């Protein structure tokens, strides 16, 4: 572990002068990007942050006050597995690659650049959020997520520099040149180009959109390109905290919504300044459906190729029995003549859908937790995930209209009922109107309940962010 170098790392950067120089050259551009595009108004603030200092599960993190631009962004790969072999696809059983095979160079570069692009994009989307944080606890969590997305960018840039030579260097520069929402040089994926400027959307993003990221990383952690598999494995330990922020953030809003609903009776939670459950459901419908799109088309020859070549596996490939997936089929519901029909798709072509299934199950577990909270408050309401066909822009259901239950309907009916299902302008402006900062240690905004415990064993009254 080389922690005290200019770029903390566990990849012996000092032993590779050329790579070290390339990364040291990129570092000032990164810092300049962070200063201009990172959290606005808090760059000089002391934040109680967790920094990675090792990769073993016992005590990899160190907590202390840090000014974000001084965060020790480093390069950390999970420990190598001795004699690791490719675990799926046509090359199953062959030794994993330490260098990029020429024939897969373009596909791998595209995978890494697409993943890498989402990391700075989310920091850009969230750069104004700090100003309206519901508490210091939440403010700190936002910044923790932001610096770790910055580190994930470092992880991908390391791979680009290490494995792709000159093209890699150019891609690394381009990752700092694109900007979320910029019409001329936008971020690569659509969902990463809209600002996230209210906290309900932030929790929805970390619950649903960031979880897509988790599943992409889980699939890349199986990759035959060993440095990619090892870097994503360590990224996943950080990603777990982002999911926690989203899932518990929404749980706390649900809890508060229930408390205020009881208090308000017939007047509804909004009368008491809360976010009512039907509005939460609409935000779920929106963020979940946008995030489903990030997995790509249901039937995909790209996905088949990634699998065949050993570049990207399934979530926890080991738990499957057949790692070739040549014979199997996936039963899929496809639109046909205004209705729906079931059909069998060759399994390799359905790999995006297989990954999406794992993602959906994981989300359902979170929704079940929220519903438990609602039941505990004796309120008759159930949150749910809409059908995977609802409100899609990508794949076989795009350009068609479905109810949240997945029933095909006409475009006209969808438009007529849109505001029943998705946040309306007035829902959005109501939610925005609640976004007033609460910066007193231990205090919470009215629309969200306190978390059950603090961070790093600290009490909830701890000053997680020191605002001068």
Residues that bind Fe ion (CB under 5 A): 119, 149, 152, 210, 239, 242
Phi-psi region of 224 (alpha: psi -120 to 50; beta: other; left: phi over 0): alpha
Shortest reach from residue 209's CB to Fe ion, in Å: 9
Q: What's the CA gap between 101 and 99, in Å, rounded?
A: 6
What's the count of helices (H) and strands (E) in the chain, helices before strands?
11, 7
**Smaller CB separation from Fe ion, 140 or 389:** 140
**Smaller CB separation from Fe ion, 239 or 276:** 239
DSSP symbols for 242-265: HHHHHHHHHHHHHHHHHHHHHHHG
Chain-centre distance of CA 404, in angstroms?
23
Shortest reach from residue 78's CB to Fe ion, in Å: 15
Residue with tokens 């822009």: 393
**Smaller CB separation from Fe ion, 124 or 149:** 149
Shortest reach from residue 119's CB to Fe ion, in Å: 5
**Smaller CB separation from Fe ion, 210 or 226:** 210
In three-state secondary structure terms, 360 is helix
Q: What's the CA gap between 238 and 220, in Å, rounded?
A: 15
Shortest reach from residue 241's CB to Fe ion, in Å: 8
Shortest reach from residue 111's CB to Fe ion, in Å: 15
**Smaller CB separation from Fe ion, 55 or 400:** 55
**Smaller CB separation from Fe ion, 112 or 445:** 112
Q: What's the CA gap between 286 and 79, in Å, rounded?
A: 39
Shortest reach from residue 333's CB to Fe ion, in Å: 30
Shortest reach from residue 259's CB to Fe ion, in Å: 30
Shortest reach from residue 155's CB to Fe ion, in Å: 8
Shortest reach from residue 392's CB to Fe ion, in Å: 23
Q: What's the CA gap between 280 and 257, in Å, rounded?
A: 9
Q: What's the CA gap between 293 and 300, in Å, rounded?
A: 13
Shortest reach from residue 217's CB to Fe ion, in Å: 8
Cβ atoms 120, 112 nearer than 8 A: no
- Take residue 102 and report the two structure tokens written for it: 């020429």
Phi-psi region of 357 (alpha: psi -120 to 50; beta: other; left: phi over 0): alpha
Name the pairing type of β-strands 46-52 and 329-336: unpaired
Name the pairing type of β-strands 61-67 and 46-52: antiparallel
**Smaller CB separation from Fe ion, 198 or 210:** 210
206, 200, 190, 192: which is closest to 242 by C-alpha? 206
**Smaller CB separation from Fe ion, 175 or 350:** 175
**Smaller CB separation from Fe ion, 122 or 300:** 122
Q: How many CB atoms are located within 10 Å of the residue 27 CB?
A: 15
Q: What's the CA gap between 199 and 146, in Å, rounded?
A: 14
Q: Dihedral of the CA atoms 284, 290, 294, 295 (nearest 10)?
A: 60
**Smaller CB separation from Fe ion, 156 or 269:** 156
Cβ atoms 212, 295 nearer than 8 A: yes
**Smaller CB separation from Fe ion, 119 or 427:** 119
Name the pairing type of β-strands 408-409 and 465-466: unpaired
Shortest reach from residue 365's CB to Fe ion, in Å: 18
391, 313, 318: which is closest to 355 by C-alpha? 313
């Amino acid at each position: 572990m080389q922690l005290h170098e200019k770029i903390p790392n566990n990849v012996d950067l000092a032993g590779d002068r050329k790579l070290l120089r390339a990364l040291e050259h990129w570092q000032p551009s990164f810092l300049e990007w962070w200063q201009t595009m990172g959290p606005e108004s808090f760059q000089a603030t002391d934040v109680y942050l967790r920094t990675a200092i090792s990769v073993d599960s016992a005590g990899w993190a160190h907590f202390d006050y840090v000014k974000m631009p001084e965060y020790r962004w480093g390069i950390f790969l999970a420990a190598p597995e001795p004699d690791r072999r490719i675990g799926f696809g046509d090359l199953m059983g062959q030794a994993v690659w330490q260098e990029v095979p020429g024939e897969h160079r373009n596909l791998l570069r595209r995978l890494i650049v697409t993943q890498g692009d989402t990391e700075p994009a989310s920091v850009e989307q969230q750069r104004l959020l700090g100003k309206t944080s519901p508490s210091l606890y939440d403010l700190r969590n936002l910044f923790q997520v932001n610096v770790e997305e910055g580190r994930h960018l470092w992880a991908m840039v390391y791979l680009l520099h290490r494995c792709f030579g000159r093209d890699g260097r150019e891609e690394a520069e381009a990752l700092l040149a694109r900007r979320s929402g910029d019409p001329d040089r936008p971020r690569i994926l659509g969902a990463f180009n809209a600002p996230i400027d209210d906290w309900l959307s932030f929790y929805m993003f970390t619950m649903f959109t960031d979880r897509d990221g988790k599943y992409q990383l889980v699939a890349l952690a199986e990759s035959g390109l060993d440095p990619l598999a090892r870097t994503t494995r360590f990224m996943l330990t950080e990603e777990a905290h982002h999911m926690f922020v989203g899932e518990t953030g929404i749980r706390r809003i649900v809890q508060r919504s229930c408390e205020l609903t009881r208090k308000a009776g017939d007047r509804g939670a909004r009368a008491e300044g809360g976010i009512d459950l039907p509005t939460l459901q609409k935000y779920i419908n929106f963020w979940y459906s946008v995030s489903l799109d990030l997995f790509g088309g249901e039937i995909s020859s790209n996905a088949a190729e990634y699998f065949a070549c050993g570049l990207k596996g399934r979530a926890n490939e080991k738990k499957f029995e057949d790692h070739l997936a040549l014979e199997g089929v996936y039963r899929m519901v496809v639109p046909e003549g205004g209705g729906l029909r079931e059909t069998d798709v060759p399994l390799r072509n359905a790999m995006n859908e297989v990954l999406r299934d794992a993602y959906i199950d994981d989300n359902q577990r979170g929704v079940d937790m929220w519903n438990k909270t609602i039941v505990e408050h004796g309120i008759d309401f159930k949150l749910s995930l809409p059908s995977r066909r609802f409100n899609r822009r990508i794949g076989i259901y795009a350009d068609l209209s479905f109810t949240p239950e997945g029933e095909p309907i006409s475009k006209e009916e969808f438009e007529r009922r849109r505001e029943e299902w998705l946040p309306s302008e007035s829902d959005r402006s109501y939610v925005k109107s609640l976004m007033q900062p609460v910066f007193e240690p231990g205090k919470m905004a009215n629309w969200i309940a306190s978390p059950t415990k603090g961070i790093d064993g600290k009490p909830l009254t701890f000053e997680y962010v020191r605002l001068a």
